[in-house]
Amino acid sequence: MLGAIIGGMTAWQDVEQVVPEFAQRVRALFDAHKHKTIATLRADGSPRISGIEADFADGELVFGSMPRARKGADLHRDSRFALHSATVDPVEGAEAQWPGEAKISGRAIAAGPIDDGGGGERFRADIAEVVHTHLNDDATRLVVEWWTPEHGLRRIERE
């Protein structure tokens, strides 16, 4: 399966098939809150951060842009994006229960209008990287796990 992903589009269902437990943890973080944050690139190359809603539908990660929104224009000009789950602080004294945060980056593929009559545009993600940052079981080290189609799942721990 991994070989089929390299060189073609990587959809969310591909991540789920290759690393199901990791994908489940990441998706739970994205599904926990309605609002996420997306980074796009402005015409001058500087970053733009915008609030956004995203959804996992039919094996794809999808998100939209309202009519004439700058993030949509950014994605048409340069399709690279980074999507960040909502972030919550660890609870003092219960840091080991902190679920962490997740990020997905890649390229946005225009997928037509949003079917709500509002005139927005829908995008689907061609996924380049998926990241889950959390604490180890003792809450003494930061754990960063990341998956790419080229290298699979990797993990590091930092003090």
Coil, strand or helix at 97: helix
Which residues have C-beta within 8 Å of that of residue 115, sequence separation ≥ 6?
A: none
Q: What is the pLDDT of residue 114?
A: 81
| 101 pLDDT tier (thresholds 50, 70, 90) | very high
Q: In this predicted model, what pLDDT tens digit does every residue of 108-134 receive, in sequence order?
A: 999 988 876 677 899 999 999 999 999
2 vs 11: which has the higher pLDDT: 11
Token digits for 156? 């590091």
Answer whether 108's CB lies under 8 Å from 79's CB: yes
Structure confidence at residue 156 (pLDDT): 98
**135 vs 70: CA distance, rounded Å:** 35
What 3-state DSSP class applies to 31? helix
Q: What are the tens digits of pLDDT across the range 36-91?
A: 999 999 999 999 999 999 999 999 999 999 888 999 999 999 999 999 999 999 99
Residue 8: enclosing H or E segment and its boundaries? none
Complete domains list, the chain, with CATH? 2-88+100-158 (2.30.110.10)
